[in-house]
Structure 1
Amino acid sequence: MATDGTASAPDLRVLQPDEWDEWYDNLLRAFGGAVESAEERGLWRELSAYDRFLGVWDEGACVGTAGAFPFRVTVPGGAAVPAAGITAVSVAATHRRRGLLTSMMRRQLDDVRAWGEPLAVLTASEPDIYGRFGYAAASFQIGAEIDTARVRLSVPAGTDDVRVRYAPPAEVLQACEAVYARLVPRRPGMLLRQPGWERLGLLDSESARGGASPLQCVVAERGGEVVGYARYRVRPGWGPSGHDGTVELGELAGLDGAADAALWRFLFGLDLTTTLRVQGRPADEAWQYQVSDIRRCLPRVRDALYVRLVDVGAALTARTYQCPVDVVFAVEDDFCPWNEGRWRLTGDAKGASCERTSDAADLALSVRELAAAYLGGVSLAPLAAAGRVRELRPGALAEAAVAFGGAVAPWLPHGF
């Protein structure tokens, strides 16, 4: 309370290490109160970047949380660009509609700009919240429940040259991480794994299994070299006609099509199972074109990584473009007004430059549309058809839409 007896304003401040437990408890409660294992809680505590995490305190109690991991995200062209990984955003149910979320978003983006990071990224539990702060879905992912009893998998030449063997997950962690690291530059939206983050894939508390087996792992090898891996669990099941177990894929990565196919073929053929459940896979992954019946795979698409351009010029300069482009954008950005105005983008597959200009605009749009198209997974053309991009110079839309595209779909490999 204030000295005059009135309620004091909530205090938004950088998180201190001795405040973390209360901060984290408040976060868990805001997301439903699920209990985490000591191992998982301990890992998140180790990964927390305290000087980049915020808490809101009201009369000594934590009522708001937000954080920003120091990430590097792959963009078209292969560069790993500094990005703030926005995470742990919550407001206590007792403090809704008081402007706390807006104040945390304001502070975060000001901080990200001061840190010199041109991007902010997040995964959204409620997507409609973040649009007003300039975030847009820039990558998507595929989930599926594949009827492996009835769906056949065709594999490319060279698959039989790949050996698949069981391995304890922790013992082959370094080899698996080496595979992951080689894949990062190849696909936009992937996260350059910082020390400690590799342990996320090994979390295996009994409470999180939901009746499935402990975590299992296989590695794919060619000529003695590890060229891929898969981590999964098996959920046993028996029905009136016999076994109907489910394979639950956690992670799969291969350095080439044959390595990928060898791992998928292994998962399709596991004894006593009839379903392969996958989630969070790349939207253009090859298995979708190798199955005999895509309908029996029940594919579904959902949003994944949300992107926010904190510095339009630096962000657009950091990536490459699949054909030559020279276009002037008139950008609207109410929440980060330093991005407002006209920007001239020139570039190609070798590099780019994006600078402020007084030249006439070719396309008018908000920072959200630029964010959606940034990783190459969303075309500017349908955004224009939706009324969110205005073409001011004939031909500019097609030029920019093709240039912003990419050969592969962007993909977020894991949450944060």
Structure 2
Amino acid sequence: MSEFHVRAVAEGEQRACLDVLSQSLHGKPASDEVWAKMAPSWPAAGKFAAFDDHGTPVGITSSFEVELTVPGGQKLVTAAVDGVGVRADWTRRGILTSMMAAQLEDLAARGVPLAALHASEAVIYGRFGYGAATFCRGVSVERPRAQLRDGVGREGVVRFVTPAEAVERVPALYNRFEGTRPGFVSRPAGWWPGFFDRVVTGDDGYRVAVHSGPDGDDGFVVYQTIDTRDRQAPERGALLDIRELHAATPQAWAGLWRFLLSIDLVSAVAGRGRPLDEPLAELLTDPRAVNTTEVIDDLWLRLVDVFAALRARSYGTAEPVVLEVHDKQLPGNDGRYVVGPDGVERTATEADLRLDVATLSSLYLGHGLFGDLALSGRVEVLDEAAVARADALFHTARTPWCGTFF
């Protein structure tokens, strides 16, 4: 059986590694044209790969640095893990485990406190210390039935921008939204070519509209029109499928939704990945026009430095609790932490609650309850009164949401 070794990716090896990732996800190798657009978003830095005896990559894990907003508003450097895959003829040999270990050890050595990813399969990443930390929902709004309440969304104007204008203007506009809620991530310069520019300048018909309020541009939406007509229903309107919608103010958010729901010859407006607490139904005279089509895990988080991560976020009002954390990949995180409104410290005091790093990671941004995870056996309760205190300490007023794919 051929052996493999894991090491950092060197300059010039990125395209071959991207092809491994594409193949593992049942895609095609990148054409010269696609690679020209992708290359700025795929530097060698932050990548580890498994290579066979001939130096050919057979597995890849990739990351780049972003800033993630944590409860209280502080932004922590986070490794955005944007590509993990193993070639089909090399699976079940420990390659993924070896690559993830190399990546985590590198992040810990460099002092990166968090790592985050969007999981292709929900069963993979828990064993590496990741937990589902934000969730999102899919929505579908029945267009003819969706009448907006009087005065909703009328405080600004919406205009289309060309793909070239979108590429030039939207990145600066997005920077106005950073830090608005836990889970939100920055979009560094390298993110845009591969995840935004390639979409809006491509052949799939995406349109970009920008909302302007009293202080200038303050929101944008990217959407695609899908023809839903057939022989049985030739009169059926189109489906507007939202790829992303972001707004700096409630007025801009309402104005963008007013715009979408006012477009003629449309039967429905739909979007995936929307915040769980988005009050869309409250815009309408008939809230039943809004349907939730799915609720699904979104951002998976991994506390690489538990102490630094816990100290960076704010907490609610409750008596402190002592958490005992276990981390089999990074044992330096093992230990007890006293968490309270005034901060976090390591302690030798007896634990109130015991949990692994994946469970703590899933609770870190404020989604979920210690009590629920205690019922499922993921939190070991040593002091029953501590459960309610922990929930009060970690709860956030706004539901965490990421809103960015990588």
Give yes or no for TM over 0.5.
yes
Unaligned ranges ≥5, structure 2: none
What is the aligned residue count? 401
Partner of 1:132: 127
- Deviation of the 1:63 alpha carbon: 1.0
1:17-416 matches, within 5 Å, as 17-34=11-28, 40-60=34-54, 61-154=56-149, 159-173=153-167, 175-199=169-193, 200-204=195-199, 209=204, 214-223=205-214, 225-239=216-230, 240=233, 242-291=235-284, 292-294=286-288, 297-348=291-342, 352=343, 354-416=344-406
| CA distance in structure 2 between the partners assigned to 1:81 and 1:304 by the alignment | 19
SS of residue matched to 2:355: strand
SS of equivalent to 1:127: coil
Q: Is the 8 A contact 1:80 1:192 kept in 2?
A: no
Q: How far, CA to CA, are the matches of 2:356 and 2:115 in structure 1?
A: 16
> Is the CA contact 2:8–2:49 (under 8 Å) kept in the aligned structure 1?
yes
1:155/1:261 contact within 8 Å kept: no
The answer as to whether partners of 2:139 and 2:290 remain within 8 angstroms in 1 is no
Aligned pairs for 1:5-16 within 5 A: 9-16=3-10
Please list every run of at least 4 consecutive aligned residues from structure 1 whose deviation after the TM superposition is greater than 4 angstroms.
35-40, 172-175, 205-208
Shift of residue 256 of structure 1?
Answer: 1.8
Q: Is the 8 A contact 1:234 1:245 kept in 2?
A: yes
Cα distance per residue 1:19-68 (max 9 Å; x no partner) = 22221111111100246565553343212241320111112222111112
In the alignment, the residues of structure 2 paired with residue 412 and residue 15 of structure 1 have an alpha-carbon distance, to the nearest angstrom, of 28
C-alpha distance in structure 1 between counterparts of 2:2 and 2:235, whole Å: 65
Name the CA distance, whole Å, in 2 between partners of 1:69 and 1:155.
Answer: 45
Distance 1:268 1:39 in 2: 36
CA contact (8 A) 1:155 1:258 kept: no
Deviation at 1:189, TM superposition (A): 1.1
Tell me by how many angstroms 1:262 deviates: 1.1
Q: Aligned letter for 1:302?
A: I
2:96 maps to a residue whose letter is L
Q: Deviations over 1:207-236 (max 9, x none)?
A: 762xxxx22122111236112111212123
Pair 172,65 (structure 1): closer, same or farther in 2 beyond 3 Å:
closer
TM-score (norm 2): 0.92
Q: Secondary structure at the match of 1:238?
A: coil
Question: Structure 1 residues 296 and 219 mapped into 2: Cα distance closer, same or farther (>3 Å)?
Answer: closer
Q: Percent identity?
A: 34
**Alpha-carbon offset, residue 151 of structure 1:** 2.9
Q: CA RMSD in A?
A: 2.2
Contact 1:49–1:68 (Cα < 8 Å) also in 2: no
SS class of match (1:54): strand
Report deviation, 1:155: 6.5
CA contact (8 A) 1:236 1:273 kept: no
TM-score w.r.t. the length of structure 1 is 0.90
Equivalent in the alignment of 1:4: none
Distance 1:390 1:189 in 2: 26
